[in-house]
Amino acid sequence: MRILFYQDPPSLESTMLTWTLGQELILRGHEVYFGKLDFNDADKFKGRFDWVRTGSLNSWPGVRFARQTGAKAHVHLEGLAYYRIGVDSAKKWGYPNELTAEQIAYWKDYYKTWMSAAHEADSCSVNGKNQIEVIENELFGGRKLPNCYRLSCGVDARYALTLPNVQRQDVMVTVSRLEPNKGVMMIAKALALLPQDKLPTWVIVGSGTEKQIDELQSFVLKNRIKTIIRPCFGAEKWMWIKKAKIMLAGWQGIPPSEGLVCETPVLSYNHPDIIEMYHDSIWWARDNDPKDFANALHSILNLSEYVIDEDVKMGKQKLLDGELYACTQEILAHQYEKMFTEDLEPWKMNV
């Protein structure tokens, strides 16, 4: 099977998830290409690809390119931020003000503009059942997405499982951008409720705008939270996860799976989309409440290493065995393979 990812080639500054997904497909014997090929050259590529996988603002161009070259088209919708389309509160997501009716209308139009390409494609996928229902009901008036699959981004377990064992250090790790909707400030507010002399150093592997970094640093300094902000990726990111006593997650979807494959316990806020991915394989703070997060963290840090190890190993095995909605890139590549060969009934959500 020959698959074109109709997008800019992944770079080292990106998450590299589409690249590692492509590598897994190659290992399964398929040909994989990346690039937004020129429409004027479409005749040169007729019959060259079996599938064109596209998404976001590349959705319509990708579908049209597929049609021009005789390939089938798949649109990955990923998901959307509920507060942007008026389904949820922006303040609940960490923003200081609610969106105006005009802003909500803008975002609805933005999402519909490119997500509508899914109705012209041969199939599409969305990151989760909750997201599928919101997209169908809030953007398209209940109209079903055609041949829609529930697919999760995968963790690069093939690489992570080759990492050397390292000595755990007295650090907690969070892997996230500092955007308000990631909930990093919610983690900081929870840490502020605990005795700082009893807490490990909090290492944030991520980056943000100057304003976001200043806001976070001002808060942690005021509350004497020992914090390191370390923008990094690749091996250095993985080693921080491996060394940490615990991973603290706000509303991040992929990092908890990275914690699990590194056998690092994960405590997360209980956003419904994240619960859908991990179920009982990680620890949860109830009601997205910083006080409950602080209490849960205190309890976990005081558990015996044996109890933590046993629970984390169980969660890791569920992830590797494909028992969770969160998955590995190897499992995700297998899902794409089955989907593109019209043999994906166990994973299909809507027809």
Structural domain spans, the chain: 2-152+328-347, 158-325
Residue 14 has a pLDDT of: 63
Residue with tokens 């892997």: 175
Residue 96 has a pLDDT of: 86
With cut-offs at 50, 70 and 90, classify the pLDDT of residue 351. very low
Residue 95 has a pLDDT of: 86
Class for the domain spanning 158-325: alpha beta
Backbone phi and psi for residue 174, each to the nearest 5 degrees, phi listed first: -130, 125
Residue 3, pLDDT > 90, answer yes
Sequence letter at residue 268:
S
pTM metric for this prediction = 0.90
Residue 283, pLDDT > 70, answer yes
Residue 128 has a pLDDT of: 85
Residue 322, pLDDT > 80, answer yes
The model's pLDDT over 50-108, given as tens digits with 9 standing for 90+, comes to 999 999 999 999 999 999 999 999 999 988 999 999 999 988 888 889 999 999 999 99
Count other C-beta atoms under 10 Å from residue 165's C-beta: 7
With cut-offs at 50, 70 and 90, classify the pLDDT of residue 39. confident
Domain 2-152+328-347 has CATH 3.30.1600.10: no
For range 246-271, the mean pLDDT: 94
For range 314-331, the mean pLDDT: 94
With cut-offs at 50, 70 and 90, classify the pLDDT of residue 13. low
Domains 2-152+328-347 and 158-325 in one fold: yes
Residue 347, pLDDT > 50, answer no
* Angle formed by the axes of helices 59-69 and 101-115, nearest 10°: 10
d(CA 247, CA 249): 6
Average pLDDT value over all residues in the chain: 91
Backbone phi and psi for residue 117, each to the nearest 5 degrees, phi listed first: -60, -25
